[in-house]
């Protein structure tokens, strides 16, 4: 299989945006991070990019190192027309379920991005990773594995990942026993062992750790 160079890869990743960009229309990309962790918020990002704005190295956040994402973050946010994030925390995740929490985070991210746009700016089309039927006033293009296929979604995935990781790393100072600085809330063996030993903290999603709570008699 032929290995493509960076220019070719970016050409492929912007295939969804180009029909809009060629007409001078800006589009937004949205993605979320944090649906699966046992602790912490789900975070969505919305990035509105000016037509033709492409930064080398932007890719699905799952394919990038933390160091690389930290370098790309200011390039994306600095070059964007606007960006916004939406956060839904563990208590509300437990109350409304993770799917509804994710949709709420997406809607908040979109509103926050538009709030930072100049004047009566309109962003009529949004590319979003997998999730459908969001409560936003825009045409939604839902793409399965969109963060690997669509440039603007990939850019949003980096913004969401960097902001959520920073939050969880900071949380590790208050709750050092869980290793949040390494697992950022995901259910690693070390994290699970710590849960069994110390029980949950205020950041844990109780609906995600029912088995451990039952083992500890805390249901």
**In a domain? residue 216:** no
pLDDT tens for 129-177 read 989 899 999 999 999 999 999 999 999 999 999 999 999 999 999 999 9
Is position 31 within any domain?
yes
Minimal CA–CA distance to 126: which of 35, 34, 25, 58?
25
* pLDDT beyond 80 at 120: no
pLDDT (average), residues 71-98:
98
Q: What is the pLDDT of residue 100?
A: 97
pLDDT digits (tens, 9 = 90+) for 2-29: 567 899 999 999 999 999 999 988 899 9
The single-letter DSSP state of residue 145 is T
pLDDT score at 4: 72
Residues of the domain holding 159: 6-173
Q: Looking at beta carbons, which pairs linking 69-77 to residues 24 or more positions away fall under 8 Å?
A: 69/158, 69/161, 69/162, 70/162, 72/158, 73/158, 73/159, 73/162, 76/47, 76/155, 76/158, 76/159, 77/47, 77/159
User: 31: domain CATH number?
Assistant: 3.30.420.10
- Tell me if 184 sits within 8 A of 165, measured CB to CB: yes
pLDDT at 121: 74
Residue 163 lies in a domain: yes
Report yes or no on 61 lying in a domain.
yes
Mapping DSSP onto H, E and C, the string for 180-216 reads HHHHCCCCCHHHHHHHHHHCCCCCECHHHCHHHHHHC
Tell me if residue 87 falls in helix, strand or coil: strand
Write down the pLDDT at residue 216: 84
The overall average pLDDT reported for the chain is 94
pLDDT at res. 167: 99
Q: Do residues 51 and 26 lie in contact, with contact meaning Cβ atoms separated by under 8 Å?
A: yes
Find the DSSP H helices in 28-97: 66-79, 90-96
The whole-number pLDDT of residue 151 equals 97
Does 127 have pLDDT greater than 80? yes
Is 179 a domain residue?
Answer: no
How far is the first Cα of the chain from the last one, in angstroms, to the nearest whole number? 52
199, HSE (Cβ side, Cα atoms, 13 Å): 7
Q: Is residue 95 part of a domain?
A: yes
| CB contact at 8 A, 32 and 129 | yes
pTM, two decimals, is 0.95
Domain count, the chain: 1
The reply to whether 178 falls in a domain is no
Tell whether 130 is covered by a domain. Answer: yes
Percent of the chain with pLDDT over 90: 87
pLDDT value for 2: 54
Q: What is the pLDDT of residue 123?
A: 81
pLDDT at 3: 62
């Amino acid at each position: 299989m032929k290995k493509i160079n960076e220019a070719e890869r970016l050409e492929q990743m912007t295939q969804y945006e180009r029909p809009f960009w060629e007409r001078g229309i800006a589009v937004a990309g949205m993605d979320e991070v944090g649906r699966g962790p046992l602790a912490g918020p789900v975070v969505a990002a919305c990035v509105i990019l000016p037509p033709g704005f492409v930064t080398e190295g932007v890719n699905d956040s799952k394919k990038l190192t933390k160091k690389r994402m930290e370098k790309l973050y200011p390039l994306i946010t600095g070059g964007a027309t606007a960006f916004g994030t939406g956060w839904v925390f563990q208590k509300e995740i437990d109350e409304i379920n993770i799917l509804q929490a994710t949709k709420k985070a997406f809607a908040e991210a979109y509103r926050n991005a538009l709030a930072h746009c100049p004047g009566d700016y309109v962003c009529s089309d949004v590319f979003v990773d997998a999730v459908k039927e969001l409560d936003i006033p825009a045409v939604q293009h839902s793409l399965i594995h969109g963060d690997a296929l669509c440039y603007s979604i990939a850019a949003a995935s980096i913004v969401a990942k960097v902001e959520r990781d920073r939050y969880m790393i900071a949380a590790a100072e208050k709750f050092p026993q869980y290793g949040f600085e390494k697992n950022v809330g995901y259910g690693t063996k070390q994290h699970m062992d710590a849960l069994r030993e110390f029980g949950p903290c205020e950041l844990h999603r109780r609906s995600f750790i029912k088995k451990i709570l039952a083992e500890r008699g805390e249901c």
